Amino acid sequence: MIGIAACEMSPSPYFAEGATAAELIEKDRAHLRKRMDVLQAAFRAALKGRARELAWRSDIALPTDYVVQAAHAADLIIAGANRNGALLDPVLRLDPSELVIRAGRPVFVVPPQTEHLALRRVMVAWKDTREARRAVVDALPLLAKAKDVLVVEQVEQDEDRAAARGRIDELVAWLGHHGISATARVPTPSRDVVPKLEAVADELGIDLVVAGAYGHTRFREWVLGGVTRDLVNRSKRCSLLAH
């Protein structure tokens, strides 16, 4: 388990030059380093005895860039959800939307109110794309620990239901080859995919949603697909996303 923290210095509001400016900048840097020391202590205290090995990395740098550069050292990235939407300051805060597109690793997004994950019921929000296929493969260790796994494909028109059912039945069979028992479900058609999936998740008490992430790097939330954007910004449950 690697704890990681980064924050870049905000543009200086000071009107100073020379030694005075340098002193103010160093004061800000010292404050950031002290804050990171506090975070490291909290990280180690929270995970003491819960991981075989703990490590810590921190620097004064752009948060998302720093985590992306460190992603090769991890199997899974755990990040907090973004409740600020497009207003997020990339100098101060990690952007999970950009992270999931750039990292090359699955990103586990945790809403701010979440204190623990029961992992009783997991929903795979299926779409027959490379992103969704990548997400399911990345999620296999978690799916294997879940009590119930549900594969859902939401369609917009009734005539698409039979084809969708055939696709997810094949996925359920593939999961079975990996020792994971899953069930398939194609809800009634709806053009409002996100609310429909959220309603299914609420009805079944889903703890975790697994989904492909769709979008383009550097453009953040406004070009992410609707399901991805809601899972990163608005969902009240944890999600595992892969691009």
Q: What is the pLDDT of residue 151?
A: 97
Secondary structure (3-state) at 14: coil
What's the chain's average pLDDT? 87
Q: What is the pLDDT of residue 75?
A: 95
In residues, how long is the chain?
243
Q: What separation in angstroms does the CA of 143 have from each of 96, 148, 181?
A: 22, 8, 9
- Cα torsion 240, 107, 165, 144: sign: negative
Contact 183, 212 (CB under 8 A): no
| Nearest partner of 93 among 69, 62, 67, judged by Cα | 62
pLDDT at 221 over 60: no
Beta carbons within 10 angstroms of residue 26's beta carbon: 10
The structure's pTM equals 0.86
Dist CA 25 CA 18 (whole Å): 11
**Residue percentage of the chain with pLDDT more than 70:** 87
Q: What is the pLDDT of residue 85?
A: 60
pLDDT digits (tens, 9 = 90+) for 201-213: 999 999 999 999 8
Using pLDDT thresholds of 50, 70 and 90, give the confidence band for residue 16. low
pLDDT digits (tens, 9 = 90+) for 151-194: 999 998 999 999 999 999 999 999 999 999 999 999 999 888 88
Beta carbons within 10 angstroms of residue 68's beta carbon: 19
Complete domains list, the chain, with CATH: 2-61 (no CATH), 121-242 (3.40.50.620)
Q: What is the pLDDT of residue 90?
A: 76
